[in-house]
Amino acid sequence: MPLGANTSSVKRLLGLLAVLTALLLTVALSHAVGFTYASFNSGSGNRTNVVGNDSLGAPTLAVPTPSGAGASATVALSWTLPSGDPANQSVILRGASACPPGSFSTVTTVGTTSYTDTPGAAGYYCYEIEGKLGNWTSQASNQRTVTVYELPVLIQKAHREATAATSVSATFSADPVANHLLVAIVGGMGSTVINLPSGWSSAINESGTPSQAIFYKISAGSADKSVTVTTGTATALDLRLLEYSGIKTVSPLDQTGSATGYDGAPSSGSVTTAQSVELLVVGSTSDGNAYTTGWSNSFTLELDTHGHGNNKYDCSAADNIVYATGTYSSNATVAGGQPGNWRGQIASFKAGPN
């Protein structure tokens, strides 16, 4: 046989041996590591899982902790991987609705078992976690729904006084926006019945000396620019109006409280909120000659009107946004004299979304 033919045969044989050697090494390595491949369907769609001696188990997602409200709100996430799980990374997935969402998007991949997300807007979100090792991802964790509340914002306010009258009217400077919360605080210096305006709801309405009520409604728009409140008997009246965005449009009222006294600084009474983000509105009416300069516990004084000389009264409105469930109250700071008979009230309203 010619030498060239032998050389060609040897080359072919060596090539076949190299291919066979590579195949045997691949099989041996796959058995040694214990990887086999499987597909499954999770809430995130079809994904690939590594199973076998080094299988990736589904993480367990703890209850998330949201903080703040609106665009700057954050959601603290934490989870655990199965004991001995080889995953060295975690994929954080978020859906833009309550669980189960129509789809998920990847927020980020981290090498830890905790992460603080900023969704960027109020709404309902669904989270789940996947373990990750190289190109392989585990079955998805359990899902958790998170509510990011809207941030309530005071849009505008108005007030009007009336002396020895059975009605008082006030008008906003601009048309209210539909679906915003409107709050009306009405004070009467004498003991009188304060009538609920048509289309409004009563948060709290108390007669005495003085009398006061807090009414509210979800605005229909321009039709609510002016508000008129009537009473059963003539007395000095004061009407305070406030418009807020970011409040639930369905069942917005949470809790109310009140307090009364003579002299000393007026107080609001207390409420215990049921939702983490709420708007607290305080109103006070006094027949004394002092005037309100502020409210405690981070409440902002929004309106204060007071009479002079023989026409003695003081009426104020204040608000606050709270970010945790709890019991809340406030005390007024007064100047210029004694408040006389006073009545304070507080109402809490739930931030959106519905």
What are residue 7's phi and psi, to 5 degrees? Answer: -65, -45
| 264 lies in some domain | yes
pLDDT digit string (tens) for the chain, length 354 residues:
444 445 555 556 656 556 555 554 444 444 333 333 223 333 343 344 444 335 899 999 999 999 999 999 999 999 999 999 999 999 999 999 999 999 999 999 999 999 999 999 999 999 999 999 999 999 999 999 999 999 999 999 999 999 889 999 999 999 999 999 999 999 999 999 999 999 999 999 999 999 999 999 999 999 999 999 999 999 999 999 999 999 999 999 999 999 999 987 899 999 999 999 999 999 999 998 889 999 999 999 999 998 755 567 899 999 999 999 999 999 999 998 877 999 999 999 999 999
Same domain, 182 and 326: yes
Looking at the structure, do residues 96 and 162 belong to the same domain, yes or no? Answer: no
Is residue 22 assigned to a domain?
Answer: no
Q: Which domain holds residue 125?
A: 35-148
Asked if residue 202 and residue 143 are part of one domain, the reply reads no
CATH code for position 78: 2.60.40.10
In a domain, 30, yes or no: no
Q: Per the structure, how many domains does the chain have? A: 2
pLDDT at 14: 58
Q: What is the DSSP string of 63-79?
A: PPEEES-GGG-EEEEEE
Q: Say yes or no: 181 and 304 in one domain.
A: yes
Q: Are 209 and 312 in the same domain? A: yes
Tokens of 13: 């044989």
CA 104 to chain centre: 22
Last residue of a domain, one of 95, 130, 148: 148
Residues 224 and 346 placed together within one structural domain of the fold: yes
- pLDDT of 20 reads 56
Question: What DSSP designation does 43 have?
Answer: T
Helices (H), 162-282: none
